[in-house]
Structure 1
């Protein structure tokens, strides 16, 4: 039995993190029945078969999704993902003990403040991020439809880490012993499933699985990568308004 590499450290829910639910609901009261911003994309492994870099794979996946839908796809190299992992977590490939994973809010805050490597001359900066309740399916769908995806953390059961396990669905009579934490990027959904990439492949995750095993979820705002996309996604002015509402909600 071959299992996968994990790397998300336990969720830390910072009370200062913006709350995304109300601003997103105001911007998109009724989410569309389905959305998929990275349909039929081939995903790299980005070294997540060897190292616990899944939190940075989530960053690279977001950038690939946004730019592929809005402009032309920007694909980080494996070395850039590793450099970003090291910059945030202190990982050094020559010192195995430093491969400890990372906390999602730390990854996102560094992305917002200091930026991460990306192809070309420009560092990539996140405009803002906000907490989305993992129990709120409509809220997760709004984030995917309006912002191009959802960055989530899972306490993943052992069976879901096995190569060839198939789609992730939850049944209570299964052995759902937890293997550890894992970060994934959701880039689409339909009436029954969320669509994601992990460990270099496309996968579906049921609503029941997300409710049971997702312990953190964040909507990401990226003016650098995501604007003026056809459909329900926002233009620049709408993103500014959303960020202002998020900050107002966080200060209440």
Structure 2
């Protein structure tokens, strides 16, 4: 199976000082995550959303999360077409293909919305806190994630292979920053959506190359009455300071 990798466009992570780690907003202790979660197979088609021509991965990742949240909840929030994803990307960049900072995208998403969809709240998750990553995927339908992509990952993707650490991985140059939603996991893999496909990611690869992760509380979950275990009052108050 041959697949074509797309472009990069995630700029360096920026973590607003007003926001605490996601785990600090637990209204009650979050449950032990299940052994496996799969939110990816509920969607039959993952479009490129312009990421083959533009470095709009931060926006494509957001659009993919809306697709998945709709499938999870049965809600029908608007899902943008490719041209709408690109248009919103260029609007936020000022018309240039410069890439975006994930936290800036999230701030816009929560305050004014993207494509008619507004998220309830968001907070950072420690990329090395693997249980918290699993809890976030299980309870809120995904993680809005950022990674640094090594050169050999492009070939692995093209060959339909998982992203794994192979011999000589330490010498691989970084090609760019990339935004992906994590929509599942099991004992061996995380499952990301990128470049129009579901991509398996080994846990040690994630721990090596991930540089940011965000819990995002979707509007669809509030509509469905399933905002799970989070002190929304405290989180909302902190977001007002961002």
TM-score bin (small chain)? 0.7 to 0.9
User: Equivalent residue of 2:90, what SS?
Assistant: helix
CA separation in 1, counterparts of 2:121 and 2:93? 20
Change (3 A) 1:211 1:125: same
User: Equivalent residue of 1:226, what SS?
Assistant: helix
Does residue 78 of structure 1 match 2:76? no
Per mean C-alpha deviation after superposition, the further-off stretch among 18-27 and 153-162 is 18-27
Match of 1:235 in 2: 226
- Alpha-carbon RMSD across the aligned residues, in angstroms, is 2.5
Moved over 6 A (4+): 248-251
* Equivalent position to 2:163, from 162, 168, 171: 168
1:159 and 1:165 in contact (8 A); partners too: no
Does residue 206 of structure 1 match 2:202? yes
Does residue 141 of structure 1 match 2:139? no
2:40 and 2:198 in contact (8 A); partners too: no
CA separation in 2, counterparts of 1:12 and 1:151? 14
User: Equivalent residue of 1:225, what SS?
Assistant: helix
Change (3 A) 1:249 1:9: closer
Change (3 A) 1:167 1:181: same
TM-score, normalised to structure 1, is 0.84
The aligned runs of 1:84-233 (5 Å cut-off) are 84-91=88-95, 98-117=96-115, 123-162=116-155, 163-164=158-159, 166-171=161-166, 173-174=168-169, 175-222=171-218, 224-227=219-222
1:66 and 1:225 in contact (8 A); partners too: yes
CA separation in 2, counterparts of 1:170 and 1:131? 25
CA separation in 1, counterparts of 2:216 and 2:51? 22
Change (3 A) 1:172 1:211: farther
Question: Structure 1: 5+ residue runs without aligned partners?
Answer: 92-97, 118-122
What is the total number of aligned residue pairs between the two structures? Answer: 233
Match of 2:67 in 1: 64
* Equivalent position to 1:54, from 27, 52, 57: 57
Match of 2:15 in 1: 13
CA-CA distance at 1:15 after TM superposition: 1.4
Question: Structure 2: 5+ residue runs without aligned partners?
Answer: none
Deviations 1:40-78 (A, max 9, x none): 632111111111000000110110010111015653201
TM-score, normalised to structure 2, is 0.87
Match of 2:39 in 1: 37
